[in-house]
Amino acid sequence: MDNKYKNFNYMMNPKSVAIIGASNNPDKVGHVILQNYIDAGYAGKLYPVNIKDEVSILNIKAYKSVVDIKNNIDLAVIAVPAEIVPNVVDECGKSKVKSIIIVSGGFAEIGAVELQDNVGAIAKKYNIPVLGPNCLGVMDPRTRVDTLFLPAFKIDKPKIGGVSFASQSGAVGSSVLDMISGEGFGLSKFISYGNAIDLDEVDILNYLGNDKDTKVIVFYIEGVKRGRAFMESAKRVSMKKPIVVAKGGRTNAGSKAAHSHTASLAGSYEAYKAVFKQSGIIQANSLGEILNFSKIFDTQPPLYGNKIAIITNGGGTGVMATDALYDNKLELPELSDSAINKLKKVMPPIVNVRLPLDMAGDADDKRFSAALDVMMNEDNIDAIMVIALFQTPGADSRVAATLIHYGTMMKKPLVVVSPGGSYTQAHKNMMESSGIPVYSSPEDAARALAVLHKYTEFKVNK
């Protein structure tokens, strides 16, 4: 295990945390961070630090300086004004703090490059790993670590899962975290790294690549400082687990915005696309695609072929799904004679037995089950897209239970398309909580299947 991995372990699984800038004032960032640790049920030792004469903060003994703490400190979270951060980092060095997260802003992103360089030099002098500045820090639902200065009532926290998300932008990171909590998959780790004064994308990628609890790695990046190292790490990590990247600053205007946001040099988008392709990175072009790709990689087996069967209880949606497949270089296979004969025995006469299989608007759980029984055993079908319109008379909780049953027992990928309102949403939640990826449109489902197939091909051909 290399030193960088140990550095992240001090942040993600610390036995003790000093929160410098903690306060009894609920409007202060340090107060929110300390409160989040308490609310999350963090089991380690907490040390609130505030230069003012605070005897205790949130009923925990307070200290005027980190040097006054005589016990070992694995992590110091710094939430004080930028101009006093250098002195605080120096005190952390003298106290032999093992890692630092600087959530404070006011550095290179606003032109204060010299101040940021000074902080970096002090940290380097003491050989302390630093995440940030200008970041949210980290969250790990397993260890109950949470440095995010976001009030608990404003953001839903995801359940424990296998997707790790790293974000250069705290705003994008917090939004995606909130959105993940409404999806069926859960979070392994969250890392917001801001200006990347020390630990950067390469370090994070290597850490998550070796993390046994991380099944899928998702990045939001605006720029990469060490391009060649990032590409080499991505090539290696992609062979073990999928990497999904959303790139900010794809246009010239976006690139300029990125620089003013995290002092990041966004660089040529065409160059990034080439690196992503060579490295096996899956590119997401929106927040929605981050979620759509994450859940298919987290829940589904590899997709070795591009032949996708469509089962639907609505004819028009089946037509749209067919178009979506071909738009994404996927295909609709022909059913074998054996499959056609089996389906004719179990489908009513009004059903035209061909793909896409439109089972009619009155299709119930028995009809869905009969179709899946045949499709799952067809050799020329590589995956199945089921369109379940819960607005129809025959679709209810029994259909959702049927799809859960087949989705958890099949060895080939299965995705569900279910657009709709509150009744549909309730059934979507049922299915996704059981590991069945559900999409709001055939286009979203087809795109997710396409990237699953692309990633499978990348691994097979390497």
Q: What is the pLDDT of residue 266?
A: 47
Please tell me the predicted confidence (pLDDT) of residue 24: 94
User: Span 302-461: which CATH code?
Assistant: 3.40.50.261
Of 268 and 248, the structure prediction assigns the larger pLDDT to: 248
- Give the pLDDT confidence score for residue 192 in this predicted structure: 96
Band (pLDDT 50/70/90 cuts) for residue 335 is: very high
pLDDT higher than 60, residue 96: yes
Whole-number pLDDT of residue 263: 47
Nearest to residue 47, comparing CAs of 28, 32, 29, 34?
34
Q: Are 136 and 104 in contact (CB under 8 A)?
A: no
pTM: predicted TM-score of the whole model, two decimal places:
0.92
CATH of domain 155-299: 3.40.50.261
- The per-residue DSSP string of 308-326 comes to EEEEES-HHHHHHHHHHHH
CA–CA separation, 78 vs 49, rounded Å? Answer: 9
- For residue 261, what pLDDT is reported? 42
Please check the confidence at residue 10 and state whether its pLDDT lies above 60: yes
Tell me the mean pLDDT in the region 270-289: 91
If you average pLDDT over residues 261-276, what whole number do you get? 68
Residue 86 preceded by cis peptide, ω within 30: no
Percent with pLDDT over 70 in the chain: 94
- Residues 207-264: tens digit of each pLDDT: 999 999 999 999 999 888 898 999 999 999 999 999 999 998 665 554 455 444 444 4
Place of tokens 């200008």: 134
Q: Are the folds of 1-136 and 302-461 the same?
A: yes
Rounded (to 5) percent helix, strand, coil in the chain: 45, 15, 40
Average pLDDT, the chain: 92
pLDDT at 13 over 60: yes
How confident is the model at residue 451, as a pLDDT? 98
pLDDT confidence of residue 1: 44
458 compared with 265, residue with greater pLDDT: 458
- pLDDT tens by residue, 430-443: 999 999 999 999 99
How many other C-beta atoms are found inside a 10 Å radius of the C-beta of residue 39?
12
- Read off the pLDDT of residues 292-328 as tens digits, 9 standing for 90 and up: 999 999 999 999 999 999 999 999 999 999 999 999 9
Strand 137-140 to 145-146 pairing: antiparallel
Taking alpha carbons only, the member of 311, 269, 283 closest to residue 410 is 311
Look at residue 92 and tell me whether its pLDDT is greater than 70: yes
pLDDT band at 265 (very low <50, low <70, confident <90, very high): very low
Read off the pLDDT of residues 41-71 as tens digits, 9 standing for 90 and up.
999 999 999 998 779 999 999 999 999 999 9
Those residues whose C-beta lies under 8 Å from the C-beta of residue 318, and which sit 6 or more positions away, are 310, 312, 356, 357, 358, 387
Cβ pair 223, 231 in contact under 8 A: no
User: Where is pLDDT greater, at 417 or 182?
Assistant: 417
Q: Which residues pair with 77 in a beta bridge?
A: 19, 101
Q: Thinking of the domain 1-136, which architecture would CATH place it in?
A: 3-Layer(aba) Sandwich (3.40)
Q: Where are the domains of the chain?
A: 1-136, 155-299, 302-461
DSSP code, position 462? -
Q: What is the pLDDT of residue 252?
A: 55
Least confident of 1-10, 209-218, 443-452: 1-10
Per-residue model confidence as pLDDT tens digits over 345-369:
999 999 999 999 999 999 999 999 9
- Rounded to an integer, what is the distance from CA 17 to the centroid of its chain? 25
Torsion sign over Cα 226, 246, 116, 45:
negative
Predicted pLDDT of residue 256: 53
By the 8 A CB rule, do 289 and 247 touch? no
375-388 pLDDT per residue, tens: 999 999 999 999 99
3-class DSSP state of 16: strand
